[in-house]
Amino acid sequence: MGKVSGLVLETPTGEPAETLEVQGVFEFVGVHPNSDLVKGLADLAEGGWVMVDNSMGTSYTGLYAAGDVTNTPLKQVVTAAGQGATAAFEALRYLDSGVCPL
């Protein structure tokens, strides 16, 4: 199997193509939050990010979200893990509070 040896960079403005020698490529194919599951249930920001407050709560009481799918600005493993911990903690507090109808 062949290996990447370079990239040809073309600009939309029509400047001459430039060749860049590289040994590997990480494709950035775009960012699209997979939030269909909660569409119509919780408020989504423009672009589809699930809107959360400081406790990772959504606009739907008792529903929490964390990580890349939320409208928080930093999309990193460490922030996703921290938000997940907060969301789990807050969900437990909600269940223990007695206001949950379930």
Q: Which residues bind ligand FAD (CB under 6 A)?
A: 26, 34, 37, 67-68, 75-78, 80
Residue least distant from ligand FAD (Cβ): 67
Question: In the complex, what is the shortest distance from the CB of residue 17 to ligand FAD, in angstroms, rounded to a whole number?
Answer: 25
Question: In the complex, what is the shortest distance from the CB of residue 15 to ligand FAD, in angstroms, rounded to a whole number?
Answer: 27
CA R_g for the chain: 21
Cβ atoms of 78 and 98 within 8 Å: the answer is: no
Closer by beta carbon to ligand FAD, 59 or else 79: 79
Burial class (CB in 10 A: 0-12, 13-18, 19+), 57: buried
